[in-house]
Amino acid sequence: MNQLKKGKMSIDPLFQIGKVDERIYGSFIEHLGRAVYGGIYEPGHHDAGEDGFRQDVIDLVKELNVPIVRYPGGNMVSGYNWEDGVGPVEQRPKKLELAWRVLEPNKVGTNEFAEWAKRANTEVMMAVNLGTRGPDAARNLVEYCNHPGGSYYSDLRVSHGVKQPHRIKTWCLGNEMDGPWQIGHKTADEYGRLAVETAKAMKLVDPTIELVACGSSNIDMPTFPEWEATTLDYTYDEVDYISLHQYYGNTSNDSASYLAKTLEMDRFIATVIATCDYIKAKKRSKKTMYLSFDEWNVWYHSREADKAIEPWTVAPPQLEDVYNFEDALLVGSMLMSFLRRADRVKIACMAQLINVIAPIMTETGGPSWRQTIFYPFMHVSLYGRGTSLQPVVQTPAYDTNKYTDVPQLDSAVVHNEEEKTLTIFALNRHLHDGLDLEIDVRGFEHYQIVAHTVLEHNDLKAVNTKAYQPVKPHDQGQSTLQDGKLEARLPRASWHVIRLKHQ
């Protein structure tokens, strides 16, 4: 029987978690499936320019306001020779790409992607190959990308028509090197030694760059969190971030448990922070290690179809999950997990951006459209910039088949002092019961509600397709504010963005 439960929240501007780094709204484009070829790049498409990049896709990326995009992988980078993707396109080799068993034509490489990033108003987060390669190739790539000129690799870039350096700031030291599926898989000691020597060489070329060491591929890896401890024991003084990766899926069709999976995500983040701080204490260091959650999303819908893909073809449709409404709710919840640890999570990349487990889908030769997960990502990216606050929350809880004491209300709060805005992100994750939420905002005098955006649908499995997009937000949320008390009604299984502004 459906019920209307009650919850309370108190928000004070002095209860600060930390400043939100805008890079937590990053994303990821790998040479995988139709992310590059048929995604961002489709020469001959009516919306593509002379460089082959689709303007309709760029416009949607701008809607999401993505500040950084990880590239070129992913699993692919562990067998990638960056030199194959630069120079005259007609002279570039076609290579067998072993991670996804496709044919890589190398029509898009470092310079093309850097140009696309400029057009999309984003920065590049470059990954180097520590699977089949090491310090030499990595330091050469930094020289090619960042050195102004007068050296072999910087002059090579100039000869390729790119006079100004790309000045890429953030670099990943490999990808998921703890995974047996990874080309060049390493033990923690092997990776730690390779990573620290690569880091030192890269920073000798450009001391201004930031580096991300590989953490565990997911929380269920048998070596977690020992991998983090060993890796950081080697790299702590040379790197700035440790990576986290995690994907979720409703494989058992248990929606109540599915929407509670961010309880695991919170635990994952907390454990990695504790491991970082252990190594900090062990080394008597004053340096704080930050987190880069540079792969995260929902991923499970396409896995059976992916098994039937013919190998050694160019850009076959891979990992093209069609997301439903409950996936969008979970994505909103995952984003709030980052906001609640804004003091330590400084980078996060939704994997991926176009076609491959992505918020944006395209049809070859046809239109592009927004998947259900597009909307919560857009909301938090646009309105979740400022200082993350720690609210005091009272919420009903419930049990699922997998979890106990699941909070009905999942929430995060961001105060933008410069713009004088306060944004409350709220998810009622209960499948049947509504929630009447009372919020004390007396610490924000003269603030008024300017919008209450809601994403809701009667069918948890509703999807957006090229032809029909029924899952869209509306601004008819039920909320009132009087004498510092905000009252909002949150229907069952619904996502809310309540925005206040100083008047």
List beta partners, residue 502: 447
* Mean pLDDT score, 218-244: 98
Closest CA to 500 of 456, 436, 418, 441: 441
Pick the catalytic residue from 42, 83, 112, 295. Answer: 295
* Mean pLDDT score, 76-90: 98
Residue with tokens 């020992």: 226
What does the DSSP assignment read for 447-502?
EEEEEEEEE--S-TT-B--SS------BS--EEEEETTEEEEEE-SSEEEEEEEEE
Residue 484: pLDDT over 90? yes
Question: pTM here?
Answer: 0.97
Q: What is the pLDDT of residue 278?
A: 98
Per residue in 427-454, pLDDT tens? Answer: 999 999 999 999 999 999 999 999 999 9
**Tokens of residue 311, six digits:** 């190998």
* Mean pLDDT score, 134-162: 98
Q: What is the pLDDT of residue 115?
A: 98
Per residue in 371-426, pLDDT tens? Answer: 999 999 999 999 999 999 999 999 999 999 999 999 999 999 999 999 999 999 99
Residue 256: pLDDT over 90? yes
**Tokens of residue 294, six digits:** 């540079």
On average, the pLDDT of the chain sits at 97
- For the question of residue 438 being annotated catalytic, the response is no
Q: What is the pLDDT of residue 16?
A: 98
Q: If you compute the radius of gyration of the chain from its CA atoms, what whole number of angstroms results?
A: 23
Closest CA to 495 of 341, 338, 336: 336
Q: What is the pLDDT of residue 89?
A: 97
Per residue in 262-278, pLDDT tens? Answer: 999 999 999 999 999 99
Q: How far is CA 242 from CA 139, 224, 298, in A?
A: 20, 13, 21
Q: How far is CA 32 from CA 102, 109, 121, 365, in A?
A: 8, 13, 22, 19
Q: What is the pLDDT of residue 304?
A: 87
Pick the catalytic residue from 176, 228, 320, 326. Answer: 176
Residue 1: pLDDT over 70? no
Band of residue 3 on the pLDDT scale cut at 50, 70, 90: confident
- For the question of residue 176 being annotated catalytic, the response is yes
CA–CA distance, 265 with 260 (Å, rounded to integer): 10
Per residue in 98-129, pLDDT tens? Answer: 999 999 999 999 999 999 999 999 999 999 99
**Tokens of residue 300, six digits:** 């499970």
CA–CA distance, 401 with 482 (Å, rounded to integer): 40
One CATH from 3.40.50.720, 2.60.40.1180, 3.90.198.10, 1.10.150.80 for 4-13+389-502: 2.60.40.1180
Sequence-distant (≥ 6) Cβ neighbours of residue 329 within 8 angstroms: 259, 376, 427, 429, 455, 493, 494, 495
* Mean pLDDT score, 479-485: 97
CA–CA distance, 162 with 153 (Å, rounded to integer): 12
* Mean pLDDT score, 174-200: 98
Band of residue 2 on the pLDDT scale cut at 50, 70, 90: confident
Q: CATH top-level class for 21-383?
A: alpha beta
Q: What is the pLDDT of residue 420?
A: 98
Residues of the chain within CATH 2.60.40.1180 domain(s) are 4-13+389-502
**Tokens of residue 108, six digits:** 């898009």
Residues of the chain within CATH 3.20.20.80 domain(s) are 21-383
